Structure formats: structure tokens, C-alpha cells
């Protein structure tokens, strides 16, 4: 079968890597892909915002299955366009993807269906926002409504900070229309958990638990990023809490979407805060997480193509996800300046040496080939991913592999998985 992967990040390289291991995949096309994906299949120029162009590509190459990595084409309706042309695709329709595309929609949806989420006020202009800020407890979280590539959520410790954020989002319109409405949200303490599931609208197949590391510096300091690393270990989530998340959050979400005429198909990512009061939804993502995808695929033993094929046919209930008993970790190597402005075109060395170690896979994100040389081409450059007998071993292996890799200005967190290791040690 011929599989088309849409996107160009570490998540998409990891999916392509997993597909390539399936004896059933004869051909792989990536649109647009990156230098790592080019080693696995054919990369074609593509604009992920051009949903008609993507559907035309799938038609032209006769793709048997298309998997969408990033949220943008889904929010723009790529699934609807594929469905109109009878092309199988994994991902929600435009109406269902609004659960990520509009945080205002998501919060009001959560409230309508009694699903636990932090308290909030929706503000449609800056006047409303300044009024709402008079009645909050500090700190407060301010969220732009629309897609903002990780730049739309800021924590305001004090009123002055909040005023500056509202000014930036709503008056200076630094995020464009994404900031025309904002949410002022209650700040929650707790540990974050990425709970990712696949659904065909009838059955729900949860992925193994993962933990992302959002902030750019160690000990969760500095600004938010797209994610600086992630780890996966079965013990990050105990059975009772898992059952509670499914019962109080996952099931009512899909029931609610169905009842509102937005049946859901594809990945749904629940960004959760585990509070003293139980799990609460911080946000939804209408696709797989990046970097969570990287530590997940290296633990997944099932053939993902089989799973997706059953999903596309509405028979996900017949599919299963088998996980290795190993743990895994992914350390993101970023370009100097990321998540702010960064330079590109820096030569990268050492990937082959890094991958010589057992259980190590280096997934490319912002990379490309220029004059035959591998160079940086984005803020997040590589995701060094390793499996190990336990989380500590996985983390150690990933960092040993990181030592082999060099590019000018490279930076990374040194504490990926550290909290997980501590938590697991405390359980023993
Ligand atoms: N209510 C909240 N309380 C505490 N931290 C929050 C809250 N909402 C978001 N955050 C922090 O901000 C990060 C980004 O927020 P999120 O809602 O996931 O938006 P996005 O991923 O679109 O930037 C979260 O991963 C979390 O660390
Ligand atoms: Mg998030």
C-alpha cells in the first residue's frame, strides 16, 4: 500500500519511520517532509495550508491512506476535502477540529458537558478583558482563542503582566486574528499529562501515557516552546486514574461532539493537569503530539498501518495497540535562539554515530540537505529518542546519543524525564 504523510516535523518523521517497518507499506510519500523523511520515502513540495492541493496530490499518487501530522490543515478542512473525493484520511473534519482551532469553542464545550476544566471568562474585546481582570485571583492564565503555534498562552503573575499581555494580544494584535478573543483562565497547580487517543467515532484506543516538557530551560524555566522533549512509561499513569480520565473526560468529550453534530475521527490529544481535585482539561489538540509521538512510536509493537486501516473503515474496535515493556525518552535539540528568532543553515554532524547505540533513533524536525550536506532548517532540529529497560535507562541512553551530535548553537534541556524518574522511584 502507498501511504502519504502530511507534515515536516519530528512527529511526522516518527510516523513515517513506523510505517516503513510495516511489511504492508510498499511506498511512502511525504508532503513536504524533511531530510530524515527523505531517507524513508519520496518528499514532494507541498503547502500544508493548501487543502485542495493536498487532496489533488493524494489523488495523483493514488495514496491508499493519508495521515495528517499538524493541526493547521485539519482546522482548515483537509479531512472534509479528502472525504468529498473519497480519499481515506486519518484526522477530524473541520467542525470537529474546532476543538483545537478555537480555545473559546473548546472551553464552552467543556462547560456545556460538565467536563472538568479550570474556571474561565471569555473576552471579546480589551475592555471586557480589563474588567474581567478586576475579579481574578493571581496568577492568571491568558489564552488567545485561535491557533498561535505555541505563542498564544501566557501566565500573568500580577495585574501589570496581564495588562501587557492583553495589550499585545488584543490591541497590538501581535497574533493577528487569533488574539481577537481571549480566555482569562484560573491557574492550576499540578503535574501535566498528555493523554492521547485514537477514535473512529465509536471505539476509543488510548495510547500509552507520555509527558511533555514545554518550557525551554531546565526545571521548567523560560518561555513555552513547541516541546523540548517527552518520555513514556506505563507507570506514569496508574490504572485507577486512567479509568477516571476515560470516564470523566474522554467519554463525555466524544459523546458531546457526536451530540453536537461534530463526530470525531482520528487522534485526539487531551492536555491534562493532574490536580489535587482530579484531572482537568487544559486544552485539546486535534492531532498526535510532537514530541510525544517520538517516544510513543519506539515503544509501539503493533503495526500502525493495520490500526489506521481499521480506523478508516470504522472498525477500530477490532484493532489493538501493543506496547513494549520498555520505557522511552526523546530529547529535542534546538537551534540557538529558539523559541525566539533563530538562525538556520548550520551543518549537523554525528547522527550516524548516535544511532549506532542500541535502541536509539534520531528523528529529524527542522533539517534539510543543502549541497549534499545536512543542515538545520528550523527551531526544533532533531529529536534524539531512546528506549531502555526503565525510564532512567532510556533517559541515559538518549543523553549519551545527544553527546555525539553537534551543530552550531545547539541547545537542549538536561532534565528530560527527570520528574518521571523521580515519580517512579517514589512509587517503589
Ligand atoms: N490553567 C492553567 N494553569 C496552569 N498552567 C497552564 C494552564 N493552562 C495552560 N497552562 C500551561 O501553559 C501551557 C500551554 O497551554 P495550552 O492550553 O496547552 O496551550 P497551547 O498548547 O495551545 O500553547 C500548558 O502546557 C501548561 O503548561
Ligand atoms: Mg498545549
pLDDT in tens, 297-334: 999 999 999 999 999 999 999 999 999 999 999 999 99
pLDDT at 422 over 90: yes
* Interval between CA 17 and ligand 2 midpoint (Å): 24
Q: How confident is residue 149, by pLDDT bands cut at 50, 70 and 90?
A: confident
Going by C-alpha positions, the residue among 212, 205, 291 that lies closest to residue 254 is 205
Residue 120 and residue 107 in contact, taking contact as beta carbons nearer than 8 Å: yes
Average pLDDT over residues 366-374: 97
The pLDDT score that the predictor gives to residue 45 is 97
Beta-carbon contacts of 377 under 8 Å, excluding residues fewer than 6 positions away, are 34, 35, 344, 345, 366, 367, 368
Among all ligands shown, which has an atom nearest to the Cα of 100? Answer: 1
Residue carrying C-alpha cell 531512546: 386
The rounded mean pLDDT for the chain is: 97
Residue 283's contacts (CB-CB under 8 Å, 6 or more residues apart) are 100, 103, 106, 271
What's the CA gap between 376 and 379, in Å, rounded? Answer: 8
Ligand 1 mutation target, pool 152, 193, 196, 283, most atoms within 8 A of CB? 283
Domains of the chain: 2-90 (3.40.50.20), 125-180 (3.30.1490), 191-427 (3.30.470.20)
Q: Residue 133 has what pLDDT?
A: 95
Looking at residue 170, what DSSP letter applies? I
* Grid cell locating 144: 488567545
CB 362 within 8 A of CB 400: no
Residue of 148, 269, 282 with the most ligand 1 atoms within 8 Å of its CB, for mutation: 282
Please give the pLDDT value at position 144.
98
d(CA 63, CA 235): 38
What pLDDT sits at residue 131?
Answer: 95
The H-or-E segment that residue 120 falls in is strand 120-123
pLDDT band for 150, please (50, 70, 90 cuts). confident
| Per-residue pLDDT tens over the stretch 175-206 | 999 999 999 999 999 999 999 999 999 999 99
pLDDT at 428 over 90: no
Residues 6 or more apart whose CB falls under 8 angstroms from that of 127 comprise: none
pLDDT attached to residue 320 = 96
Q: Whose CA is nearest to atom 16 of ligand 1?
A: 283
Which residues' Cβ are closer than 6 Å to ligand 1? 118, 141, 143, 150, 152-153, 185-188, 192, 214, 224, 271, 282-283
How many angstroms separate the alpha carbon of residue 271 from the centre of ligand 2? 6
Cα separation, 205 vs 203, in Å, equals: 7
Give the model's pLDDT for residue 65: 98
- Buried (b) or exposed (e) across 11-31, using 16+ Cβ within 10 A? bbbbbbbbbeebeebeebbbb
Q: Considering only CA atoms, which residue is closest to atom 22 of ligand 1?
A: 150
Q: 224 forms bridges with which residues in the sheet?
A: 215
Provide the H-helix boundaries in 173-329: 239-245, 251-259, 293-297, 304-312
Q: How much is the average pLDDT of 323-352?
A: 97
Q: Which three cell numbers stand for residue 213?
A: 516538557
Mapped onto helix, strand or coil, the DSSP state of residue 74 is helix
Position in ligand 1 atom list of the atom nearest CA 271: 18
The band of 427, judged by pLDDT with boundaries at 50, 70 and 90, is confident
| Omega before residue 291 within 30° of 0, cis | yes
Q: Which of 106, 141, 287 to mutate to test the pocket of ligand 1 (most atoms within 8 A of CB)?
A: 141
Other CB atoms within a 10 A radius of the CB of residue 428 amount to 5
d(CA 358, CA 371): 31
pLDDT confidence of residue 408: 98
- In degrees to the nearest 10, what's the CA dihedral of 126, 127, 129, 132? 180
Q: Is 210 left (phi over 0), alpha (psi -120 to 50) or beta?
A: beta
What is the distance between the alpha carbons of residues 394 and 244, in angstroms, rounded to a whole number? 28
Amino acid at each position: 500500500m502507498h501511504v502519504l504523510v502530511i507534515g515536516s516535523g519530528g512527529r511526522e518523521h516518527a510516523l513515517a519511520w513506523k510505517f516503513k517497518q510495516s511489511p504492508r507499506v510498499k511506498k511512502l510519500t511525504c508532503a513536504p517532509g524533511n531530510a530524515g523523511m527523505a531517507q524513508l520515502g519520496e518528499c514532494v513540495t507541498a503547502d500544508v495550508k493548501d487543502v485542495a492541493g493536498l487532496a489533488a496530490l493524494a489523488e495523483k499518487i493514488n495514496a491508499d491512506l493519508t495521515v495528517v501530522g499538524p493541526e493547521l490543515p485539519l482546522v482548515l478542512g483537509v479531512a472534509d476535502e479528502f472525504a468529498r473525493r473519497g480519499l481515506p484520511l486519518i484526522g477530524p473534519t473541520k467542525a470537529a477540529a474546532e476543538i483545537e482551532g478555537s480555545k473559546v469553542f473548546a472551553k464552552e464545550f467543556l462547560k456545556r458537558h460538565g467536563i472538568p476544566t479550570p474556571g474561565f471568562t471569555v473576552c471579546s474585546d480589551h475592555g471586557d478583558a480589563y474588567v474581567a481582570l478586576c475579579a481574578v485571583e493571581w496568577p492568571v492564565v491568558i489564552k488567545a482563542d485561535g491557533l498561535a503555534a505555541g505563542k498564544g498562552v501566557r501566565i500573568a503573575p500580577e495585574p501589570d503582566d496581564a495588562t501587557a499581555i492583553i495589550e499585545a494580544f488584543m490591541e497590538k494584535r501581535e497574533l493577528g486574528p487569533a488574539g481577537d478573543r481571549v480566555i482569562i483562565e484560573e491557574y492550576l497547580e499540578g503535574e501535566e499529562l498528555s493523554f492521547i487517543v485514537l477514535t473512529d467515532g465509536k471505539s476509543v484506543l488510548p495510547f500509552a501515557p507520555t509527558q511533555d516538557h514545554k518550557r525551554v530551560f531546565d526545571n521548567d524555566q523560560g518561555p513555552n516552546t513547541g516541546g523540548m522533549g517527552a518520555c513514556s512509561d506505563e507507570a506514569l499513569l496508574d490504572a485507577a486514574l486512567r479509568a477516571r480520565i476515560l470516564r470523566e473526560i474522554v467519554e463525555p468529550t466524544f459523546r458531546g461532539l457526536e451530540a453536537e453534530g461534530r463526530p470525531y475521527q482520528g487522534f485526539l490529544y487531551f492536555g491534562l493537569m493532574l490536580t489535587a481535585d482530579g484531572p482537568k482539561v487544559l486544552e485539546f489538540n486535534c492531532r498526535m503530539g510532537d514530541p510525544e509521538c517520538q517516544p510513543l512510536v519506539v515503544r509501539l509493537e503493533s503495526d500502525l498501518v493495520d490500526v489506521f486501516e481499521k480506523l478508516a473503515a470504522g472498525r477500530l474496535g477490532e484493532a489493538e495497540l501493543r506496547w513494549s515493556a520498555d520505557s522511552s525518552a526523546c530529547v529535542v535539540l534546538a537551534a540557538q535562539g529558539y523559541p525566539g528568532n533563530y538562525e538556520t543553515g548550520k551543518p549537523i554532524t554525528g547522527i550516524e554515530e548516535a544511532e549506532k547505540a542500541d535502541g536509539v533513533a534520531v528523528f529529524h524536525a527542522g533539517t534539510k540537505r543543502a549541497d549534499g550536506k545536512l543542515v538545520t532548517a528550523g527551531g526544533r532540529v532533531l529529536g534524539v529518542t531512546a528506549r531502555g529497560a526503565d525510564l532512567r535507562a532510556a533517559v541515559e541512553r538518549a543523553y549519551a546519543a545527544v553527546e555525539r551530535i553537534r551543530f552550531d548553537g545547539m541547545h537542549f534541556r538536561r532534565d528530560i524525564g527527570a520528574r518521571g524518574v523521580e515519580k517512579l522511584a517514589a512509587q517503589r
